[in-house]
Structure 1
Amino acid sequence: VERALDRVRAAAAGGADVVVLPELFDVGYFAFEAYARASESIAGDRLSRFAAAAADEDFHVLAGTIVEDLSASAADGVDVPASDGLANTAVLFDRTGDRRLVYRKRHLFGYGSEETDRMVPGESTPTAEIDGVRVGVTTCYDLRFPEQFRGLVDAGIDCALVPSAWPYPRVEHWRTLGRARAIENLTYVATVNGSGSFGEDALCGRTTVYDPWGTTLSSAGDEPTTVTA
């Protein structure tokens, strides 16, 4: 979390208007056994630190995703889709530190992953306007569901933000699907992936921002870095 806060502040100091972190940046996607231990309310201390940074330094931040404890969020007065369980949740804070958008991952990944066993899927894909730009959020595996992006376009988005934990060896899927979502919807798409290894599993990085023509505006390799566009 400290490293993420440092990166977020550095990006804002470099002129970024909105800073986006990857999926489960604080615990690591493949750390399934740690999900419950790392979970907390989205009104809790961890995300509040990102909200405070946004307010102090005048930028927007999509706090990647974290493992949300739905019962703790409900106890804090947050509207939740279920009374208990865990969710894979992204929260967008504006320049005042207020929550503008909460997205809980709708398509949970199976195929040997424990996400489907440990998480509750979200039920909606909200949008928010920041600095005159309407954005929507999806997460990682959602990239494989074009109808979800079409719904965002119908809601008027200009840009889709996609925090992810996309692993090797599916590099070509990562490159192709993000670009395809941009082209078919004529919208900007920022696919924001983690990097690093978890035992035998490794994330492929390659965070990329596409314009509505599918042109790459900015991208990275598989090393930790900050991508701006």
Structure 2
Amino acid sequence: MKLALAQLQIEPADVAGNVARAETAIETAAARGVDLVALPELFNVGYFSFDLYARNAEGLHGKTLSRLSDAALENDVAVLAGSIVEDLGQTRAQTDAYTPAEDGLANTAVLFDAEGERQLVYRKHHLFGYESAETGLLTPGDRVPVADLGGFTIGVTTCYDLRFPELYRGLVDEGADMLLVPSAWPYPRVEHWQTLPRARAIENLSYVATINGSADFEDATLVGRSTVFDPWGTPVATTDDRPDIVYADVDPDEVARVRDEFPALDDRR
């Protein structure tokens, strides 16, 4: 599989422009022959634009996700729309298969296949409270789904989830061998951003791909550095903090080879 991580320029208060930049990145990556394009956390509103959450929230059939579903179909490429502010009440009213357990707002990532069909909906489990309004504004998710795509079983988590390794172990128990992590990780915690996903890859003998944005907010600047880690924890593709698209070839057979050579998962007690 050819994977692209779209480290987008996210402009606070420019929702229309941010979505347009996401569509352009999908088109650009698809022209390079990729199979899957992954976008950052809250790429449309910007994570730290808390005052924009409610007015830009939408259900799973809303305009942002509909546009990205169309982009996936038009460009014949799978897309991780990771993530938007979901209005759980709107989704419930649509009687969707991914009906939430509660109302409110959620930080929601959606995986579309190359035909624009939803394959996975993940609502962020661990809400960040440190210098953040997220815990007061959002409802945590209660499901940890996986989806089969391109020979992989894919799991999705979001940003702060990286600090909770039990979540990743649960995904591996469900068969996951590639973990996608849309994020809005800010300075100064660069070492955390590089160490935690590498540890998750090593622990779970899985690919881990982190997709950050490039943005300056009033009180935060994102570190960028979107990276693909292989099942040994080796970074195989990365970038700096500027807007970019990171490309990597990933192989499900490599996961099988590593797990066979070093079967640590079999030794769990």
Q: Same-fold call, TM > 0.5?
A: yes
**Offset at 1:112?**
1.9
Q: Distance in 1 between matches of 2:95 and 2:74?
A: 25
Number of positions where the alignment pairs a residue of Structure 1 with one of Structure 2: 229
Tell me by how many angstroms 1:44 deviates: 1.2
Shift of 1:186: 0.3
Q: Does 1:4 align with 2:19?
A: no
1 CA distance for matches of 2:151 and 2:197?
Answer: 23
TM-score scaled to structure 2, two decimals? 0.84
Using the alignment, how far apart are the partners of 1:57 and 1:128 within structure 2?
20
4+ aligned runs moved over 4 Å, structure 1: none
Q: How does 1:121-140 map to 2 (within 5 A)?
A: 121-140=140-159
Equivalent in the alignment of 1:180: 199
Q: How does 1:118-197 map to 2 (within 5 A)?
A: 118-197=137-216
Out of 36, 44, 52, the position equivalent to 1:34 is: 52
The residue type paired with residue 109 of structure 1 is F
Q: Answer yes or no: is the 8 Å Cα contact 2:91–2:100 preserved in 1.
A: no
Q: Which has the higher contact order (CA 8 A, sep 6+)?
A: 2
Match of 2:34 in 1: 16
Alpha-carbon offset, residue 200 of structure 1: 2.5
Amino acid in structure 2 at the alignment position of 1:38: N
**5+ unaligned residues in a row in structure 1: which ranges?**
none
Q: Which amino acid aligns with 1:186?
A: L
TM-score of the aligned structures, taking structure 1 as reference length: 0.98
The alignment partner of 2:45 has SS state of coil
Name the stretch that deviates more: 84-93 or 40-49: 40-49
The answer on whether the counterparts of 2:158 and 2:183 sit within 8 Å (CA) in structure 1 is yes
Contact in 1 for aligned 2:92/2:100 (Cα 8 Å)? no
AA paired with 1:221?
D
CA distance in 2, matches of 1:12, 1:205: 22
CA distance in 2, matches of 1:151, 1:228: 27
- Give the gaps of 5 or more residues in structure 2: 1-18, 249-269
> Aligned Cα RMSD in Å?
0.9
- Mapped contact 2:227–2:246 kept (Cα < 8 A): yes
Q: Do residues 75 (structure 1) and 93 (structure 2) align? A: yes
Shift of 1:83: 4.0
Match for 1:198 among 196, 217, 224? 217
